[in-house]
């Protein structure tokens, strides 16, 4: 039987067109995977995949379909799969084989390494049967070659005029970034001329057919900033679905200009702020977060449809950057409980620690798909977020507000929900209050009974280290099943939130002035079943 939240999403999806808009996507949480590395066919040898070998390991569209329970049981409501187009077919290159799917040959053909058209349709059908969305990665900027003078007959576009002439990129010049070739002289990536009318119309026809044939709900667009911005409205208009683009880099002024031509981008500026604030070791500059939140609200047209992430196929794993697991969980709370669409790269939930390409493309099956602590943690986050999306009127469309920030902590409020994050890490550590006194914050619901102090405060305990905390009003969770909530009548009042490192705060006597029954939803260490 499907859990309640999954069932609600499933029933909702039955009445939804497959072509999903940005507005529909912002209610989702996304699990990103590389098809070749997610799951093996029955009988395959699970010990024969070394990421350093840069070659195929055996995953297919069928093996993804056959192992969707692992994703859905963690509460994810969408999957993002690596590109489905035909890739380079030839001798092994200096950088291995195109197991990842990004070395495009003929975009209009499917990659038979991963299956047939019927296999891809079956995957799409099963994703939708479960009430989930399907996002497909697409590469439009370039094709792949092993020569600076490739045989164009092997590509979708076969005329020299449909490509920019070779030139190395000047990374200080946006025109050069868009017209010159990615890659290098060993594996060059010939650049399509996306200002050529034949290329524009050809791509528009192809993407419309791909989306309609396989009922694709959204597109992740590789190297989006390397294509002229004027191309994207026609391309995404032909697709008729949500388009989120890769705009690599931490310059928010530049990144924000791409929301408009595209529905959204992956939030690289926020990713860099998360690393700066939470990674251990690191600068632990929490003000980078409050600053980036403010800038995002000011500069992006709609932060609520941007993609929040901590890992992907181009970045070192979080565990490679930060040795402390609490740093991951605190950063994850921000991505799930703030504006934007949470995205998790496969293996993050299993603590994978590979550095950059190719070591961050490990096979997932080596984890045995364990019910790890981070898998449990993300399940709780998804359960809560899915409930807030489906059962509240104001959470999803509310704007994230920073309540307070210090060197050690950040408190945000989205709708009626307060999330408290800290960068102190796992060891017990005394520090000044993370949260300054704040007025007009609602009394909240938790999974452990506490009380409001005589001065109208709630104290958050850090004697077990820097665990994140999410506080939810009682009235929101009534009848939710979360924290065992049925029909519960709990007094509502106003409170101020402060933080303390004291281990005995929960034993303090109650005052008769502002006492109310509270519950604290400590997502990692509470041991609760949501």
Q: Is residue 217 part of a domain?
A: yes
Residue 62 Cα distances to 47, 58, 100, 408, 517, angstroms? 20, 11, 16, 46, 50
Q: Is residue 452 part of a domain?
A: yes
Q: Per-residue pLDDT for the chain (530 aa), expressed as one digit of tens each?
A: 344 444 444 444 443 445 799 999 999 999 999 999 999 999 999 999 999 999 999 999 999 999 999 999 999 999 999 999 999 999 999 999 999 999 999 999 999 999 999 999 999 999 999 999 999 999 999 999 999 999 999 999 999 999 999 999 999 999 999 999 999 999 999 999 999 999 999 999 999 999 999 999 999 999 999 999 999 999 999 999 999 999 999 999 999 999 999 999 999 999 999 999 999 999 999 999 999 999 999 999 999 999 999 999 999 999 999 999 999 999 999 999 999 999 999 999 999 999 999 999 999 999 999 999 999 999 999 999 999 999 988 899 999 999 989 898 999 999 989 899 999 998 765 444 334 333 333 333 346 544 445 555 556 667 667 889 888 877 788 778 887 654 322 222 223 333 332 222 222 222 221 222 223 333 333 332 34
pLDDT at site 397: 96
Structural domains in the chain (count): 2
Cβ neighbours for 380, distance < 8 A, ≥ 6 positions apart: 523, 528, 530
Of 476, 491, 515, the residue that ends a domain is: 476
Do 299 and 339 share a structural domain?
A: yes
User: Of 304, 164, 307, 337, nearest to 243 (Cα)?
Assistant: 307
Do 464 and 329 share a structural domain?
A: no
Do 271 and 174 share a structural domain?
A: yes
Active site residue 246: yes
Q: Is residue 221 part of a domain?
A: yes
Q: Kindly provide the b/e burial profile for residues 369-401, where b requires at least 16 CB atoms within 10 angstroms of the residue's own CB.
A: beeeebbbbbbbbbbbbbbbbbbbeebbebebe
Do 95 and 195 share a structural domain?
A: yes
pLDDT at site 441: 35
Tell me the C-alpha distance between 19 and 208, whole Å. Answer: 11
pLDDT at site 465: 78
Cα 204 to its chain centre, rounded Å, is: 27
Contact 492, 442 (CB under 8 A): yes
Of 476, 495, 515, the residue that ends a domain is: 476
Q: What domain range is 460 assigned to? A: 401-476
Q: Is residue 73 part of a domain?
A: yes
Do 428 and 389 share a structural domain?
A: no
Do 180 and 39 share a structural domain?
A: yes
Q: Kindly provide the b/e burial profile for residues 131-155, where b requires at least 16 CB atoms within 10 angstroms of the residue's own CB.
A: bbbbbbbbbbbbbbbbeeebebeeb
Q: Is residue 229 part of a domain?
A: yes
What is the CATH number for 462? 2.60.40.1180
pLDDT at site 427: 75
Do 252 and 329 share a structural domain?
A: yes
Tell me the C-alpha distance between 480 and 391, whole Å. Answer: 9
Contact 340, 306 (CB under 8 A): yes
Do 424 and 310 share a structural domain?
A: no
Q: Is the pTM of this model over 0.85?
A: yes
Tell me the C-alpha distance between 139 and 116, whole Å. Answer: 20
User: Of 202, 41, 187, 166, nearest to 104 (Cα)?
Assistant: 187
Has 37 been labeled as part of a binding site?
A: no
Do 218 and 359 share a structural domain?
A: yes
What is the CATH number for 67? 3.20.20.80
Do 320 and 451 share a structural domain?
A: no
Cβ neighbours for 248, distance < 8 A, ≥ 6 positions apart: 223, 225, 268, 314
pLDDT digit string (tens) for 238-266?
999 999 999 999 999 999 999 999 999 99
Has 65 been labeled as part of a binding site?
A: no
pLDDT at site 521: 34
Do 202 and 72 share a structural domain?
A: yes
Has 103 been labeled as part of a binding site?
A: yes
Q: Is residue 492 part of a domain?
A: no
pLDDT digit string (tens) for 169-197?
999 999 999 999 999 999 999 999 999 99
pLDDT digit string (tens) for 374-429?
999 999 999 999 999 999 888 999 999 999 898 989 999 999 898 999 999 987 65
pLDDT at site 473: 78
Of 396, 422, 453, the residue that ends a domain is: 396
Contact 252, 295 (CB under 8 A): yes
DSSP, collapsed to helix, strand or coil, labels residue 79 as strand
Do 407 and 392 share a structural domain?
A: no
- Can the peptide bond before residue 358 be classed as cis, meaning omega within 30 degrees of 0? yes
Q: Is residue 135 part of a domain?
A: yes
Pairing type for strands 449-450 and 441-442 reads: unpaired
Catalytic residue among 24, 246, 311, 459: 246
| β partners of residue 138 | 221
Contact 473, 492 (CB under 8 A): yes
Has 361 been labeled as part of a binding site?
A: yes
Catalytic residue among 177, 222, 339, 459: 222
Q: Is residue 489 part of a domain?
A: no
Active site residue 230: no
């Amino acid at each position: 039987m499907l859990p309640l939240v999954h069932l609600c999403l499933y029933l909702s999806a039955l009445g939804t067109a497959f072509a999903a808009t940005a507005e529909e996507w912002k209610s989702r949480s996304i699990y990103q995977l590389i098809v070749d590395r997610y799951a093996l066919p029955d009988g395959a040898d699970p010990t024969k995949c070394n990421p350093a070998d840069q070659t195929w390991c055996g995953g297919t569209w069928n093996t993804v379909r056959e192992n969707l329970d692992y994703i859905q049981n963690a509460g994810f409501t969408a999957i993002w799969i690596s590109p489905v187009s035909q890739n380079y077919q030839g001798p092994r290159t200096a950088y291995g084989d195109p197991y990842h799917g990004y070395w495009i040959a003929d975009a209009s053909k499917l990659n038979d390494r991963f299956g047939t058209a019927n296999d891809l349709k079956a995957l799409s059908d099963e994703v939708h049967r479960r009430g989930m969305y399907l996002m497909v990665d697409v590469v439009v900027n370039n094709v792949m070659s092993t020569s600076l003078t490739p045989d164009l007959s092997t590509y979708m576009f076969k005329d020299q005029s449909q490509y920019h002439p070779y030139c190395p990129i000047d990374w200080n010049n946006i025109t050069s970034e868009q017209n010159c070739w990615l890659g290098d002289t060993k594996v060059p990536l010939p650049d399509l001329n996306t200002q050529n009318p034949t290329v524009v119309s050809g791509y528009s026809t192809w993407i419309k057919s791909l989306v309609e044939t396989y009922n694709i709900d959204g597109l992740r667009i590789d190297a989006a900033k390397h294509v002229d911005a004027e191309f994207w409205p026609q391309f995404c208009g032909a697709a008729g679905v949500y388009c989120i683009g890769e705009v690599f880099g931490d310059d928010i002024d530049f990144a924000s200009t791409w929301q408009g031509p595209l529905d959204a981008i992956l939030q690289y500026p926020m990713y860099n702020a998360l690393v700066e604030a939470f990674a251990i070791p690191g600068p632990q500059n929490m003000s980078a977060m409050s600053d980036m939140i403010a800038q995002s609200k000011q500069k992006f047209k709609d932060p609520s449809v941007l993609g929040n992430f901590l890992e992907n196929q181009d970045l070192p794993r979080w565990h490679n950057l930060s040795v402390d697991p609490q740093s991951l969980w605190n950063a994850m709370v921000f991505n799930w409980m703030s504006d934007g669409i949470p995205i998790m790269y496969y293996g993050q939930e299993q603590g994978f620690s590979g550095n950059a390409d190719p070591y961050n493309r490990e096979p997932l099956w080596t984890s045995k798909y364990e019910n790890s602590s981070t898998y449990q943690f993300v399940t709780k986050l998804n359960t809560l977020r899915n409930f807030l999306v489906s059962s509240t009127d104001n959470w999803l469309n509310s704007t994230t507000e920073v309540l307070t920030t210090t060197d050690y902590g950040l408190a945000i409020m989205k709708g009626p929900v307060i999330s408290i994050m800290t960068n102190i890490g796992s060891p017990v550590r005394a520090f000044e209050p993370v949260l300054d006194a704040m007025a007009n914050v609602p009394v909240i619901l938790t999974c452990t009974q506490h009380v409001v102090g005589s001065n109208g405060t709630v104290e958050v305990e850090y004697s077990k280290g820097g665990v994140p905390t999410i506080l939810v009003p009682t009235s929101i969770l009534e009848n939710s099943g979360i924290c065992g909530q049925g029909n519960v009548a709990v007094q509502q009042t106003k409170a101020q939130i402060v933080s303390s490192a004291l281990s005995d705060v929960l034993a303090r006597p109650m005052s008769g002035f502002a006492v109310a029954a509270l519950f604290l939803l400590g997502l990692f260490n509470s041991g609760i079943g949501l």
